[in-house]
Structure 1
Amino acid sequence: MQENLIQQVETLLREKPQLRPVEMADELKVTEWAVVSALPGELVHLIEGNLAEAILQDVAHWGAVTTIVERDGSIFEFKGSLPEGKPGFGYYNLMGEAGQLHGHLKLDAITHIALLSKPLRGKEAHAIVFYNRAGACVFKIYLGRDPQGVIYAHQLQAFNRLKGLGYAR
């Protein structure tokens, strides 16, 4: 890890705490993964990408979450339970019922996963973020909230358990 990048990220966190990692990456002219890897340990736990399927299988039992795909400034969100998936034809296939998320995830393209705990728009936020080998975010799963906007306690506990899968930087 470049010491200079760590210092730059620390400075941005201090001066512009509202920035999301993708915005920090744009400002620093590096990949989002490089920024996330340079965040302080209290904000992020890093996990190898080969655990993506196991994590997704676990999250399928958490209840309503927010799944986000962001491309070129456009943001697609799905709020609801992540359906269980199964491998087939080189993909991890999400086979939700009507009204649930459907998709085909190329999990062998996931090289890193971050458990990110960084406030978003002034509110506590926790996300599982999946990155490809180029350092770009493929998709994110944010913990769900009750009608009062409070993160579900059982999801926060499950998220914290996933931290045991992380590795030291």
Structure 2
Amino acid sequence: MTEIANDPIRQALAEKPDGILEAVAEAHGVSLQAVLDRLPDGAAIRAPGRLFEEIWNDLTGWGEIMFIVHTRDGVFECKGSLPPGTFGRGSFNIHGDSPIGGHLRADRCRFVYFVDRPFFGRRSCSVQFVNEDGGVMFKVFVGRNADRSLKEDQVARFEALCDRYRAAADEAA
């Protein structure tokens, strides 16, 4: 409890555990990574950014997800399947039969977080790619069914990734 009392970010997260993490970061003048690192135990599993391609490749098999880019100026949301990518000309290039496409600076990915936490009263599971500056490059959310429940097959894949990278982090510690 002392840990929360001495940390205003943890206090904010405890007071509103299902709020917008970017708002917490902005209110406290810290990066989103600083907020992710202060989530309650088990809510965020961190993997090294060098695993970008390995994790991306797993995500391409999930089916329709929600791809989000959240900046101070807006939130871009796109539903679709993640297409495979290849490295070339300094970028990780994604093209395919999906509304999601473009060129990513994978070399700037420092960490990948697997985040499992409430969001406005509902469970939310996401994979968040964090850059060298501690900002989130983009997020991939487990998709939802028409009734707003999480897609069970994607939750199973998400949890399998969490278990894999939790075990790797435990071994490295």
State the TM-score, normalized to the length of structure 1: 0.90
Contact 1:50 1:110 in 2 (8 A): yes
SS at match of 2:57: helix
Aligned to 2:144: 145
SS at match of 2:147: coil
Aligned to 1:29: 29
Query: C-alpha separation between the residues in 2 aligned to 1:5 and 1:11?
Result: 7
Q: 1:11-34 deviations in whole A, cap 9, x for unaligned?
A: 112212232221111122211101
Gaps of 5+ in 2: none
Aligned to 1:58: 58
Contact 2:18 2:117 in 1 (8 A): no
User: Taking structure 1 as reference, are residues 96 and 24 closer, same or farther at Cα in structure 2, changes over 3 Å only?
Assistant: same
Gaps of 5+ in 1: none
Contact 2:113 2:128 in 1 (8 A): yes
Contact 1:69 1:138 in 2 (8 A): yes
Aligned to 2:110: 111
Q: CA RMSD in A?
A: 1.9
Aligned length, in residue pairs: 166
Contact 2:68 2:138 in 1 (8 A): yes
Q: Structure 1 vs Structure 2: percent identity of aligned residues?
A: 29
SS at match of 1:148: coil
Is 1:9 the equivalent of 2:9? Answer: yes
Aligned to 2:100: 101
Q: 1:67-108 deviations in whole A, cap 9, x for unaligned?
A: 0011223111110111111121121111122x5211111100
SS at match of 1:149: coil
Q: 1:94-146 deviations in whole A, cap 9, x for unaligned?
A: 1122x521111110000011111111122110000011111111100000011
User: Taking structure 1 as reference, are residues 6 and 56 closer, same or farther at Cα in structure 2, changes over 3 Å only?
Assistant: farther
SS at match of 1:119: strand
Contact 2:4 2:10 in 1 (8 A): no
Query: C-alpha separation between the residues in 2 aligned to 1:104 and 1:124?
Result: 30
Query: C-alpha separation between the residues in 2 aligned to 1:137 and 1:70?
Result: 8
Query: C-alpha separation between the residues in 2 aligned to 1:155 and 1:92?
Result: 24
Q: 1:13-62 deviations in whole A, cap 9, x for unaligned?
A: 22122322211111222111011112122211111111111111111100
Aligned to 2:86: 86
Contact 1:9 1:39 in 2 (8 A): no
Moved over 3 A (4+): 3-7
User: Taking structure 1 as reference, are residues 4 and 31 closer, same or farther at Cα in structure 2, changes over 3 Å only?
Assistant: farther
